[in-house]
Structure 1
């Protein structure tokens, strides 16, 4: 995604966020078809992924998957559930306090790690099993963001997510 020039009116609007975000939950997928493991902290390795996650070493642009805490109630409501646990949605990091879509194409610090938002994290067909019929569509537009890890570092629960200036 090409961002507008930083000195343009749209560029200034897109660069202005209400506040830093915060890590609410961290999970790892150690193997295919096993439940996610909730952890308090994880090492993010540049160009590789999260240590202990089955996708570590794969596509660099999807080193970390993030989802907004504020979207969990919407996904639950749209899929007919009272609530949805973060592990059900199989994203690595749940963050609150800022719109993840604003991080696409931007660099940000998540704990000690430097990340760059690469693309929206679309739901997969597994959401039909996880959430029931219509689960895929319940997540559309709420699937979060994929990010590449540019500098290694530790990410901890309650760490700040701070967007860097362009």
Structure 2
């Protein structure tokens, strides 16, 4: 995604993030079609993924998947549930307090790890089974963000999420 020039009005607006976010939940997908493992910390491998996740040795564009904590109640309401647990949505990190959409195409830090938002994390057809009929559409626009790991390290529950100034 190409961002507008940093000195343009739109560029200034898009770069304005009034506060840091926080990692609320961490999950790993050890294999396809198995329950996610909830963990308190995980090693992020530069150019790869998260240690213990089935995508850890991938190309890196989808090294980490993130979803907005504030969107979980929306997805629940749109899919007819009282609550949706993070593991149901199969994203690695649940982040609160910072709009993930603002990190698309930008670099950001989670604790000591440097990442770059690469693309929207669109829902897959498996959300129909996970959430019931209409689950796929309930997640559209709320699926989160994929990110590449630029500099590895450990991500911990409670770590801050901060955009890096251009």
Q: State the TM-score bracket (shorter-chain normalisation).
A: over 0.9
Partner residue of 2:153? 153
Gaps of 5+ in 2: none
Partner residue of 2:109? 109
1:59 CA displacement: 2.5
Q: Does 1:138 align with 2:108?
A: no
1:9-158 to 2 correspondences below 5 Å: 9-158=9-158
Cα distance in 1 between the residues matched to 2:59 and 2:91: 15
1:49 CA displacement: 0.2
Instruction: Give per-residue Cα distances to partners, 1:6-48, cap 9 Å, x unaligned.
Output: 1111110000012100000000000111000000000000111
Gaps of 5+ in 1: none
Stretches of 4+ aligned residues off by more than 6 angstroms: none
Provide TM-score, normalisation by structure 1: 0.99
Partner residue of 1:8? 8
Q: Considering only aligned residues, what root-mean-square deviation do their CA atoms show, in Å?
A: 0.5
Aligned with 2:61: secondary structure?
A: helix
Instruction: Give per-residue Cα distances to partners, 1:41-94, cap 9 Å, x unaligned.
Output: 000001110000001111311000000000000000000000000000000000
Cα distance in 2 between the residues matched to 1:12 and 1:116: 19
1:111 CA displacement: 1.4
